[in-house]
Structure 1
């Protein structure tokens, strides 16, 4: 079991981009930040009300990018159980179910409206999929999914929308339903992504954390080597490099059974090459 680094290509900022980031130091007031956190679900629900199912394109690249979806079967013909945590309106879910008929999928989203759109999709089949509303930072996945029953958990552009101080709660939640030694597939924004540089002054909530005009938020990940403990240095235990992809960083991690109550994850040493279990010490 090991981490995989895919498609990462460090991008050097232009002088104009460097200057823009240097100027953009002011952060949103604590009062507004607390309101954004309180209204996080409402803001995502309004996002889907405005955009319906038309904002994101269907993600037909998933099996191409994540070979684990093809190779994690222990034997040919094995039925896989997936969890897409943060499924939106099903842009990843339905292409996967269409491509692989031997998959059962659980899917959940923060937004009740997004969940309704999934259920209204003509391709939605209760025999192959169970979808439910869930706040991954506080709602227990075990209320909907048996413990240690999922082969693959997918976190596709999801954790970046969670407050950095609560990201570990998402990981601990999915840990409970994942079979020991199975995979978490993660794809999200990396530091200096073009999306980060498009934010206007007054949008900064904290280090690498921004708010859009509609109130939804986005975090841009590093591997923790640049600025200490990253919210995801457990998952982003890189063999080399730093997350600063031209478009995004794509990482695959394997969860191993360790301390399920850990709330902090150590940053790996430069020479670290093995999987870093939850809560383990760096040797």
Structure 2
């Protein structure tokens, strides 16, 4: 869809092209909102929405009534003995929206802006290294559930902000030293990927099953909508202004991570979904 819009608007002004992309995003997000709200995601979702008969059919098909009842008892016993904390909807919305927005709007600073500006002939290689770093660091997700989710979120957003600050303060150095540029590019993208993987997991696991699709879609809708706004806000920024703007974006994400670290619940370390969502 985006490719088609780009092709149809290729001969128009940049402002018109950006407007067309923004409209496309809004249409896609609206479709996603409907899909997330109406598509059954699990047996618990069916039960939470009141589709008891349909849920029982799925239980009998995949588990058997007795086996499913046994599993449910094990889970409920685990939740009963856990130190479960309740978090407000306002806190969860603040954390998930701020972190999702920062991850969407801030991730491409060095890969798509600074790198091509200072090392134009290496643009393809820069994108390859950045995406390759994201792919390899994604394997950290194998052990993510064994680690504190709150700590990983803080590490991802705190590390990304610190790396962005270092990149800004040392621009006169790495812009003349290709080796240092590659090191900073890899380190930045490792932290960005940790932030993204943790945020993407958190924003769906903190909601009760019956409303998970709705709230997850709402968070994505708002965060990407805010990202579209930043495209217009930053379109006339110079390089240094854009870097400062990017740091502000990561500060917003870091604020959400700090809030969750001190006031949120632990959803990692093997915590059950019931404990994470407060069900």
TM range (shorter): under 0.3
TM-score (norm 1): 0.25
Q: Bigger relative contact order, structure 1 or 2, given CA contacts below 8 A and separation 6+? A: 2
TM-score (norm 2): 0.26
Judging by fraction of residues, say which structure has more helix.
2
Larger of the two Rg values belongs to structure: 2
